[in-house]
Structure 1
Amino acid sequence: MLVVAGIRITPVTARVYFGIQTLAGALWWIAVPLSDVVRRATLGDLPVATVAMFDVPLFVVASALAAAGVRWALWVAAPWTALVAAGMCVYATVTSLAGWGALLMVVAAGASIVAAIIVLCGRVPVEWMVTGPLAFRSADRVGTGRLLARTGMQTLFFWGTFLVAIPVVVSIVEARWMLRVELPLAVRISGGILLVCATALGIWSAVSMSVKGEGTPLPSQMAHRLVVTGPYRYVRNPMAVAGIAQGVAVGLLLGSWMVVAYSLFGSVLWNTVVRPLEEADLHARFGSDFVAYRRRVACWVPVRPAASRAL
């Protein structure tokens, strides 16, 4: 059972989400003709009547039916929300109008798709995250040198993708959609300092995984030995801590609150979906040694080894 912020995510939870989406959509459509500020921020110069003619039945009404348990309505609400989100993104990027509308619809589309999958599957199919090439398996025994080389290549790929390419695109979109908030210079400097520290932690963690554990950070090339030394003496997931801190630091450096939000969302996703699967695999492979380690060392907050405890 997936738990997020103390809430169990079940089909009932997903239907509740569609109920909330119905209410939010209805209130928004009431506010649009009453407030020029709301209309400009979320629709720009789009014709209100034309958009409402399609969106009210396909978004508001379909979400209400989905909340009531009508399964076919899921195949209307979720695809329509995704289509509108895509259209709003194009519109906001081309015109620099309705940036808030595009952002809100992207969030709604993602949540609608996830909620629809949960209702249709009857549960949260978290195993989808670790199938195929991402399935957990031990690394080939190729020697420390080759493992370090593989770790370096993986690290460069992930850093280049998640800490450079995606943040740059998000930052550009944020500016184009007129959503940027100027941050003080001191905030950007602190982001640079945080990035250096987090990168050092990430490198230390990756090298420890290869040298001590005979593996790489990639789930499909996991360590053969449980690593409890180096940064792993202080926190169970130093690479995750480093990666999230790096993401936040990049956001601060770019002056982008959306990049910071993207990084924090990634931390929630990793903690609620990936970490339980990874720790279940570690428990299966290392048994009581991992149980003792988990009790002794914190998951997220680094502490002195003598005082560490499970969180």
Structure 2
Amino acid sequence: MKQLSMRRVAAIAGSVVFLVLAPGTLAVYVPWTFTRWHVSPPLLGFLPFRVVGAVLIALGLPVLLDSFARFAIQGLGTPAPIAPPKHLVVTGLYRYVRNPMYVAVVSLIFGQGLLFGSVGVLEYGMVVWLGFHIFVLAYEEPTLRAEFGDEYKEFCANVRRWLPRVKPWRGTGNVTK
């Protein structure tokens, strides 16, 4: 029991550090370098883009924090490839989309682009999404298939990579939730 608690504390600490370093840099620092959080005129002169941007930020942040917490508490690891989870995480928002962390980071970036009226941040967001997509296809999915086998294959067969399901996936009983 004590070993499990220590592992969980280490996973939480590692996840917090990784949260600050990776998503903090990609979704906060880099967009800030584009805008200095100065509000420019709305894109295409369309004020509702600002509202959409604020909604994307408001939705993206709790998704990101929830996903990180699940990796540490349930998966007993971090999102960082050097300290991956010990258990496949398929609860919470993972029942809707396979990559809620990446979706959240891109949502935060696009939200800032729309809120601050920055085409540069929106273009940067596209580059980040493309980088995530390539990383998921080339490294993450093959690694998870090798590590979690049929459990991960079942998850992939039922939960889409980028577009969330309308109803949560409940599994067939073969996957621990």
Q: How does 1:49-60 map to 2 (within 5 A)?
A: none
Deviation per CA, 1:210-241: give whole Å up to 9, x if none.
Answer: 11111111111111111111111111111111
Q: Specify the alignment match of 1:230 in structure 2.
A: 92
CA distance in 2, matches of 1:148, 1:228: 18
Is the 8 Å Cα contact of residues 42 and 115 (structure 2) preserved in structure 1? no
Q: Specify the alignment match of 1:305 in structure 2.
A: 168
Alpha carbons of 1:301 and 1:274: their partners in 2 closer, same or farther (altered >3 Å)?
A: closer
CA distance in 2, matches of 1:146, 1:272: 29
2:112 to 228, 250, 253: 250
Is the 8 Å Cα contact of residues 96 and 169 (structure 2) preserved in structure 1? no
Q: How does 1:1-311 map to 2 (within 5 A)?
A: 142-171=6-35, 182-183=42-43, 184-303=46-165, 304-306=167-169
CA distance in 1, matches of 2:99, 2:23: 17
Write the letter of the residue equivalent to 2:7. Answer: G
Write the letter of the residue equivalent to 1:269. Answer: G
CA distance in 2, matches of 1:243, 1:143: 26
CA distance in 1, matches of 2:25, 2:130: 19
Is the 8 Å Cα contact of residues 209 and 216 (structure 1) preserved in structure 2? yes
Q: Specify the alignment match of 1:96 in structure 2.
A: none
Identity within the alignment, % = 30
Secondary structure at the counterpart of residue 166 of structure 1: helix
Alpha carbons of 1:160 and 1:239: their partners in 2 closer, same or farther (altered >3 Å)?
A: closer
Alpha carbons of 1:278 and 1:156: their partners in 2 closer, same or farther (altered >3 Å)?
A: same
CA distance in 2, matches of 1:207, 1:259: 27
> Which has the larger share of helix?
1
CA distance in 2, matches of 1:263, 1:248: 6
Deviation per CA, 1:59-102: give whole Å up to 9, x if none.
Answer: xxxxxxxxxxxxxxxxxxxxxxxxxxxxxxxxxxxxxxxxxxxx
CA distance in 2, matches of 1:182, 1:194: 16
Q: Alignment RMSD, CA only? A: 2.4
Is the 8 Å Cα contact of residues 147 and 214 (structure 1) preserved in structure 2? yes
Is the 8 Å Cα contact of residues 181 and 257 (structure 1) preserved in structure 2? no
Write the letter of the residue equivalent to 2:12. Answer: L
Shift >4 Å, 4+ stretches:
none
Alpha carbons of 1:192 and 1:182: their partners in 2 closer, same or farther (altered >3 Å)?
A: closer
Is the 8 Å Cα contact of residues 159 and 169 (structure 2) preserved in structure 1? no
Structure-2-length-normalised TM-score = 0.81
- Which structure ranks higher in relative contact order (CA pairs < 8 Å, sequence separation ≥ 6)? 2
CA distance in 2, matches of 1:279, 1:257: 31
Write the letter of the residue equivalent to 2:150. Answer: S
Structure-1-length-normalised TM-score = 0.48
1:288 offset after TM fit, Å? Answer: 1.2
Write the letter of the residue equivalent to 2:138. Answer: P
CA distance in 2, matches of 1:214, 1:266: 27
